[in-house]
């Protein structure tokens, strides 16, 4: 068995790029947006629409916005990890 201290090849330091996992940020943003949409729908008046329609609209809208914000945050961290 060769002795590791007698290894003639020099050690090369390498940087490890720690990129974010995009699906985690997207799902996290979507869940936060969904919760926020539900809270907003249950908090206010629904006008001439049913409560279920208002809840669905707010949940869908805020979920999409949350996914977009989560993706933007992931892109920010991805660009930052390139430095």
Write down the pTM of the prediction. Answer: 0.75
User: Residue 24 and residue 32: Cα distance in Å, rounded?
Assistant: 12
Residue 70 to residue 36: CA distance in whole angstroms: 14
Structure tokens at 11: 């050690």
For the chain, what are the domain ranges?
20-81
Q: For the segment 2-61, what is each residue's pLDDT rounded down to a tens digit?
A: 666 666 677 777 777 777 889 999 999 999 999 999 999 988 888 888 989 999 999 999
């Amino acid at each position: 068995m060769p002795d590791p201290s007698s290894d003639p090849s020099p050690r090369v330091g390498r940087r490890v790029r720690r990129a974010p996992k995009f699906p985690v940020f997207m799902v996290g943003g979507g869940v936060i947006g969904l919760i926020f949409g539900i809270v907003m729908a249950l908090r206010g008046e629904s006008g001439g629409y049913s409560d279920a329609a208002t809840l669905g609209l707010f949940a869908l809208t805020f979920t999409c916005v949350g996914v977009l914000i989560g993706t933007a945050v992931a892109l920010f961290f991805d660009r930052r990890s390139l430095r």
